[in-house]
């Protein structure tokens, strides 16, 4: 195996008197001058956003923060109750639930938009082909449908509207809309674009690669999970949850198996 080349890092350097993030002096140029969202974009995307793009990112992060007692929030509360000595463990455990099945569907939605945009047949025929083949196989289309929010996911609607207002809607948002029409036509009824579908398209138009999109959910959900830790400290729910679950799922221990 060849020796791996010596890597370098552009993210941060420091000496006795200074810390720099991507070459910018933390104390002189960032603290007190830029918001968390701006510096997050500097570090993850490698560039400082203008105000419209920053507002768009704020909107995305705000949207991803909370959805009540989801698996990640329940997890954080149970782990915090069991190991209050280490709240990092509770937050980390909750983040481990930010996986392929819910938030992580962003990636698949983004990959689908890429497929449509790269189809030499053109956007509309490609969208029609995709919508019909998923329909035929009775598979859920990534970025579409929501078990709760019907007929429309209000978050998706507002995010796409904001993207247009802020001049952040590009070719991926356009592809999502064309796909939306094709999905409705194939289903014979309206199917909502969901929040992760809208976010996938908008982040794509910002230049975020699909494989990194989940990262924004991790940051934002970390904030949500910290607020669950804070609430759990004041109004504990974990013991109640434990009893509830244990009582509701019968064991079959009486029989040998």
Minimum CB distance to its own copies, residue 247 (Å): 9
**Of the two residues 34 and 126, which places its CB atom closer to its own copies in the complex?**
34
Burial class (CB in 10 A: 0-12, 13-18, 19+), 46: exposed
Q: How far is the CB of 238 from its own copies (least distance, A)?
A: 7
CB 159 within 8 A of CB 166: no
Q: How far is the CB of 127 from its own copies (least distance, A)?
A: 26
Q: Hey, what's the torsion of the CAs at 193, 147, 218, 169, to 10 degrees?
A: 10
Q: Closest CB to its own copies among 121 and 246?
A: 246
Pick 65 or 123: Cβ nearer its own copies: 65
- For its own copies, the closer of residues 58 and 132 by Cβ is 58
Q: How far is the CB of 111 from its own copies (least distance, A)?
A: 14
Cα Rg of the chain, angstroms:
22
Q: Which helix H or strand E contains 14, and what residues bound it?
A: strand 12-14
Are the CB atoms for 63 and 78 separated by under 8 Å? no
Closest separation between CB of residue 175 and its own copies, Å?
Answer: 22
For its own copies, the closer of residues 44 and 123 by Cβ is: 44
All residues at 6 or more sequence positions from 177 whose CB lies less than 8 Å from its CB, including other chains:
160
């Amino acid at each position: 195996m060849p020796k791996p080349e010596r890597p370098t890092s552009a993210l941060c350097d420091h000496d006795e008197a200074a810390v720099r993030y991507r070459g910018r002096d933390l104390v002189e140029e960032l603290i007190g001058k830029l918001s968390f969202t701006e510096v997050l974009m500097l570090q993850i995307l490698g560039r400082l956003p203008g105000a419209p793009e920053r507002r768009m990112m704020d909107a995305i992060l705000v949207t991803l923060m909370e959805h009540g007692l989801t698996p990640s929030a329940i997890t954080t509360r149970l782990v915090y109750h069991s190991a209050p000595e280490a709240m990092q463990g509770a937050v980390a455990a909750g983040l481990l639930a930010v996986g392929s099945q819910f938030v992580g569907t962003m990636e698949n939605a983004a990959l689908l938009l890429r497929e449509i945009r790269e189809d030499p047949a053109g956007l509309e025929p490609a969208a029609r082909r995709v919508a019909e083949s998923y329909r035929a196989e009775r598979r859920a289309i990534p970025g579409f449908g929501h078990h709760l929010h019907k007929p429309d996911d209000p978050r998706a609607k507002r995010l796409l509207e904001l993207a247009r207002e802020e001049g952040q809607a590009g070719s991926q948002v356009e592809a999502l809309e064309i796909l939306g029409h094709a999905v409705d036509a194939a289903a014979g009824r309206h199917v909502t674009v969901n929040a992760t579908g809208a976010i996938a398209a908008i982040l794509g138009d910002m230049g975020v690669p699909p494989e990194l999109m989940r990262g924004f959910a991790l940051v934002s959900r970390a904030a949500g999970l910290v607020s669950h830790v804070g609430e759990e400290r004041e109004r504990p729910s974990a013991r109640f949850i434990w009893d509830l679950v244990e009582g509701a799922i019968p064991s079959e221990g009486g029989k040998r198996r």
